[in-house]
């Protein structure tokens, strides 16, 4: 009897753990690896410096199509690239008939926002800051309402393969563009 009870408890625990991270179309939702390079997307504002070229050095926004538009070279795709990869792409374009040996640096000036909904004091859109967790997102949104489930959050993330949603612990790291949903507790 005790062995069957233990196996039943083990099976329930396994189901509970496997339900913590649900993925759809290859998008992983869960703790974001801190060593993973940042990928650019629509809504990011970038400071691009072309050394020795004050007319090209400026702040550029990644548009809805996932590109930036610079003088001389026009539209440069940025979505999915790291800042270093974008610097390389801009350098390559400038090398084609404009500058002999361009030196380009790309820095993220401001990240695209994150969204928080549900049982928080002030749901809405907020600026993203690096190393933000679901718990700090709640703090930015004014804290929990009295009816909030404080143990976990639902996290929606859009990636290359589509969208994914999962129930995650409050210590889960967020990425720009994520949506955090704080549910109402039942008891």
Report the relative pairing of strands 67-70 and 74-77 from DSSP bridges.
antiparallel
Distance of CA 118 to the CA centre of its chain: 19
Domains 45-110 and 113-187 alike in fold:
no
What is the rounded distance in angstroms from the CA atom of residue 14 to the CA atom of residue 164?
21
- Could you tell me the strand order of the sheet in which 104-110 lies? 58-61, 45-50, 104-110
What pLDDT, on the 0 to 100 scale, is given for residue 29? 52
Q: What are phi and psi of 86, to 5 degrees?
A: -65, -40
CB-based burial, 105-138: b 16+ in 10 Å, e otherwise = ebebebbbebbbebbbeebeebebeeebbbeebb
Can you tell me the mean pLDDT for 85-112?
95
Model pLDDT for residues 100-128, shown as the tens digit of each residue: 999 999 999 999 999 999 999 999 999 99
What pLDDT, on the 0 to 100 scale, is given for residue 138? 96
Give the residue extent of every domain in the chain. 45-110, 113-187
* Structure-token match 């990636």, residue found: 159
Of 3.10.560.10, 3.40.50.300, 3.30.365.10, 1.10.3720.10, the CATH number of 113-187 is 3.10.560.10
Model pLDDT for residues 127-170, shown as the tens digit of each residue: 999 899 999 999 999 999 999 999 889 999 987 778 899 999 99
The CATH number assigned to the domain with range 45-110 reads 3.30.1950.10
Can you tell me the mean pLDDT for 32-46?
80
């Amino acid at each position: 009897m005790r062995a069957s009870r233990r196996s039943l408890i083990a099976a329930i625990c396994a189901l509970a753990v496997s339900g913590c991270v649900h993925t759809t179309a290859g998008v992983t939702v869960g703790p974001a690896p801190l060593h993973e390079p940042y990928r650019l997307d629509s809504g990011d504002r970038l400071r691009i410096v072309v050394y020795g070229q004050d007319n090209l050095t400026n702040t550029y926004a990644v548009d809805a199509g996932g590109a930036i538009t610079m003088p001389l070279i026009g539209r440069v795709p940025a979505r999915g690239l790291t800042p270093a990869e974008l610097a390389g792409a801009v350098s390559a374009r400038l090398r084609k008939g404009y500058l002999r040996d361009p030196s380009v640096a790309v820095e993220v000036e401001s990240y695209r926002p994150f969204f928080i909904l549900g049982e928080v004091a002030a749901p809405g859109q907020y600026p993203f800051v690096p190393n933000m967790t679901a718990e700090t997102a709640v703090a930015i949104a004014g804290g929990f309402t009295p009816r909030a489930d404080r143990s976990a959050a639902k996290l929606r993330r859009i990636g290359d393969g589509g969208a994914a949603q999962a129930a995650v612990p409050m210590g889960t790291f967020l990425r720009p563009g994520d949506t955090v949903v704080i549910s109402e507790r039942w008891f």
